[in-house]
């Protein structure tokens, strides 16, 4: 850009000084400089694109390989999920029936536990009464023994 400005300034000076015949030469020089600058800029642009912007096959493989591994794992998971049998309405009904049976068995077990606890409590109460009677009998026997010892 500076070269173009210099050429324009030189052209303006030559025109101002009266060099009319050199005006066409100066214009040609400006056009040549413009062409060479545009050609140079295009070449540098292409050079930068080819040097910096190109990826090698190995680099691309290196970048894509982890993605391929992840995709393969996901596909295996999807295949495993698709292979599972889907629950049907009959299996859901069967599960509900089994749950109802389990509930009935649990209620029956609770009822038996309460009955057994009641019987166990009765037996414990009777055992306590028997222990009290045995203690009382032991006390009487002790007194009787002591009375006989005194005689």
User: pTM of the full predicted structure?
Assistant: 0.30
Mean pLDDT of the residues in the chain: 77
**Domain contains 79:** no
pLDDT level of residue 7 (50, 70, 90 thresholds): low
User: Residue 26: what pLDDT?
Assistant: 67
The number of distinct structural domains making up the chain is 2
Please give the average per-residue pLDDT across 122-141, as a whole number: 83
**Domain contains 128:** yes
Asked if 15 and 27 count as a contact pair (C-beta separation under 8 A), the reply is: no
End-of-domain residue from the set 54, 76, 91? 54
What Cα–Cα distance (Å) separates residue 44 from each residue in 5, 33, 37, 90? 21, 16, 10, 74
126/108 Cα distance (integer angstroms): 27
Range of the domain at 135: 101-151
The pLDDT tens digits of the residues spanning 9-39 come to 766 666 555 555 555 666 777 777 888 888 8
118/9 Cα distance (integer angstroms): 120
């Amino acid at each position: 850009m500076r070269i173009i400005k210099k050429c324009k300034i030189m052209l303006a000076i030559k025109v101002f000084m009266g060099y009319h015949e050199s005006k066409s030469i100066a214009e040609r020089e400006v056009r040549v400089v413009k062409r060479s600058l545009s050609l140079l800029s295009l070449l540098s642009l292409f050079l930068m694109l080819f040097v910096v912007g190109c990826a090698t096959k190995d680099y691309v493989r290196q970048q894509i390989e982890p993605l391929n591994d992840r995709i393969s794992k996901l596909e295996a998971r999807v295949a495993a999920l698709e292979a599972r049998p889907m629950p049907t309405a009959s299996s859901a009904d069967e599960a509900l029936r089994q749950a109802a049976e389990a509930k009935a068995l649990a209620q029956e077990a609770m009822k038996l536990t309460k009955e057994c606890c009641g019987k166990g409590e009765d037996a414990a109460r009777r055992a306590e009464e028997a222990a009290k009677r045995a203690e009382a009998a032991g006390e009487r026997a002790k007194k009787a023994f002591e009375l006989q010892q005194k005689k």
